[in-house]
Chain A
Amino acid sequence: MSTGLKTSNDLNSEKVTTPSENSYVKTLKGFFEEVTLLTKFTGRFFREVIRPPYEVSEFLKQSYLIGYKSLPLIAITGFIMGLVLTIQSRPTLAQFGAESWLPAMVAVSIIREIGPVITALIFAGKVGSGIGAELASMKVTEQIDAMEVSGINPFKYLVVTRIMSATLMLPILVIIGDVISLYGAYIGVNLKGDVSFDLFFVKIFEKLVFTDVFPAFIKTFFFGFVVALLGCYKGYNSSKGTEGVAEAANSSVVYASLMIFILDMVAVQVTSLFT
């Protein structure tokens, strides 16, 4: 007859699952599900991008909204970035008597790393969140369903155009941002010195090489792509009403920023193989 008491052997043979273990499993499962869905979403983008009809007018409209409308923000932050970096770097270089290296050092920093990464992060904050919120709001108010029942492919119209625009616009914004940043640096150099415009740029181009410029330019296409991809993914698959809109906008920026750093790390590793 069973006494109802459990022996130590009974206890050892039972699988003990604590609540925290359950939540780890759930989180891990959720992560892999999300990765699978994102991979499918990306795959659909590459299938749809080559299939006609092409939404040219919407692509141009988005390029204007994503590119041209972001320009003032990128220009202001770029200028401040160049100015501040120069002012902050001067005392350190002055300690080693290397102030003449200031233009080249600032230029290499801006063009290789700070320009693309900071511009991409600002772009993620402005464009990524905008795309996430807009598409989520369209989803919640059934506008995406309305497109679908009109026989229009909403993925092609909304997602493909935005991803293509962001992928092509960010590199242009980075180039403009870098140039304005270098102008900010020129102003910064002249706050406590007297360097002509020509000399400043001669100093910059003495040190800049192809491997500084080209990889930095190429990685910006990837930055633009992930910002728009994650914004579209989060917005297009949003649910839970207005809460979902906020969540889509927020998570678009958070994941895009994280991906920019991860991609940057990969880009540095790849570049170092060739230098």
Chain B
Amino acid sequence: MGTIVANISHLKKSFGDNVVLKDISFKINKGENLAIFGKSGSGKSVLIKCLVGLIEPDDGKVELLDSTVSDLNNDELNALRKKIGFLFQSAALYDSMTVRENLEFPLRGQKSKPQKEVDELVTEALKNVGLEEAIDKMPSELSGGMRKRVGLARTLILKPEIILYDEPTTGLDPITSKEISQLILDIQKKYNTASIIITHDIECARIAANRIIMIKDGTSVAEGTYEELAESKDEWVRSFFK
């Protein structure tokens, strides 16, 4: 068994009377891709935002890379966040910046890096996602799939130990979805990163994940590999694999 890089225990979150996360617990090992699978509105995005402190959970514990997120002050949390990549559903590229500036932005805290080294990092990150030619384009000039790739390149530039993917294939055609899922797998193999993939795309989970956790109404109802879950006795679980 590998080193545990993320340990989430008994996570709970409500918004007023709306209970989004009832009790979620899971662990993830170094170099493992875990897919959190569930229908839209099942609390997957809230879960992933709780992990990086964008949303404060009501109860439970989030341990990432041996740090308990709720115990960290702002500076410590920012230092931890630099070791964790986050790919947003919309890619969240900075509209007013070119692709190059988008990729350089997370390196701002590392002023000591000479420009030549920064350029090399940007080129390498774009090469990883096959978009070297888009370096001087504005986000508005990119297609949905390209935006996701650039978002992923921006995530990779800090060489994170854990990458969180929020619906990486949403809004993309089946072929581009497959390419993005394959890219997630390639990144895992190349950098040995651990990943949490929030998705409702079972094909993405099949291609990219080593393990899948299924969420229903804010609780995890099933866990296993794609093949194990496809043959689950639970009809609700099985229904996603038909």
Contacts and interface: CB of A to CB of B under 8 A. Distances in A.
Interface of A: 137-138, 141-143, 145-153
Given A143-B95, A146-B88, A149-B81, 15 more contacts: A141-B90, A142-B89, A142-B92, A143-B94, A145-B54, A146-B86, A146-B92, A148-B81, A149-B86, A150-B81, A150-B105, A151-B82, A151-B109, A152-B78, A153-B74
A259 to B, nearest CB: 27
A152 B106 contact: yes
Contacts of A152: 78, 105-106, 108-109
Chain A interface main SS type: helix
Interface string B145-168: 000000000100010000000000
Top 8 A-B pairs, shortest CB-CB distance: A146-B92, A151-B78, A150-B106, A142-B92, A151-B82, A149-B86, A151-B81, A142-B88
Contacts of A142: 88-90, 92
Given A151-B109, A152-B108, A145 B79 contact: no
A142 B139 CA distance: 14
Interface string B37-78: 000000000000100101000000000000000000010001
Nearest to A145: B54
Q: Which residue, of A142, A148, A151, A152, has the highest number of chain B Cβ atoms within 10 A?
A: A151
Contact of B88 (A137, A145, A151, A153): A145
A147 B54 CA distance: 11
B52 A149 contact: yes
A148 B53 CA distance: 9
Contact of A149 (B54, B89, B90): B54
Interface residues of B, number: 23
A148 B74 CA distance: 11
Interface string B97-128: 00000000110110000000000000000000
Contacts of B52: 149
Nearest to A142: B92
A138 B90 CA distance: 12
B84 interface: yes
A149 B108 contact: no
Nearest to B77: A151
Contacts of A151: 78-79, 81-82, 106, 109
Which of A143, A145, A152: most chain B CB closer than 10 A? A143
Q: Interface centre among A142, A148, A153, by most B CB within 10 Å? A: A142
B112 to A, nearest CB: 13
Nearest to A134: B96
Contacts of A141: 90, 92, 95
B84 A149 contact: yes
Contact of A148 (B54, B93, B95): B54
Contacts of A148: 54, 81
A137 B74 CA distance: 25
A216 B81 CA distance: 46
Nearest to A157: B108
A142 B147 CA distance: 14
B127 to A, nearest CB: 21
User: Which one of A137, A143, A146, A152 has the greatest number of beta carbons of chain B within 10 Å?
Assistant: A146
Interface string B169-196: 0000000000000000000000000000
Nearest to A149: B86
A152 B92 CA distance: 14
